[in-house]
Amino acid sequence: MIDLISISFSQPDLNDRLATLSADGLDQLDFGVIGFDSETVVRRYNEFESKAAGLTSQRVLGHPLFTVVAPCMNNFLVAQRFEDAVEIGTALDMTIDYVLTLRMRPVKVVLRLLAAPRAAMRYLLVNRRS
């Protein structure tokens, strides 16, 4: 069993750690987690992100991330970086400052983009703490 207290937004092996967590485990994290498949359909979505974004799991799971759930991230800063990593077959682990604007007043966040070659799930992490 993974010690959830030791899982942090900035740790180096986070992609592998997230892959081993159950839905309940994801819900215990203190940052937002959105996991999506190769077609960008959201398959994992934790409670922290649901509450912070005001979007229930029912409105998010099973829907395309960049065109339905979060079109404000369908740009070269976020979506294109995932596409580029897949195209060249390289891992992606990038942290960027970002401003969320969809369905809310502008909110400054830090995003972490995680993807590994041949991995079934890619992750977009959202840290709302300053």
Longest dimension (CA), the chain: 38
What domains can be seen in the chain, in order of their start residue?
A: 11-127 (3.30.450.20)
Q: How many CA atoms lie within 13 A of 110 on its CB side?
A: 10
Residues paired with 107 in a beta bridge: 100
pTM of the model: 0.93
Walk along the chain (130 residues) and give the pLDDT tens digit of each residue.
555 557 999 999 999 999 999 999 999 999 999 999 999 999 999 999 999 999 999 999 999 999 999 999 999 999 999 999 999 999 999 999 999 986 668 889 999 999 999 899 999 999 997 5
Within 10 Å of residue 12's Cβ, how many Cβ atoms?
A: 8
Write out the two tokens for 86: 């897949």
Which residues, 6 or more positions from 112, have their beta carbon under 8 angstroms from its beta carbon?
9, 10, 14, 93, 94, 95, 123, 124, 125, 127
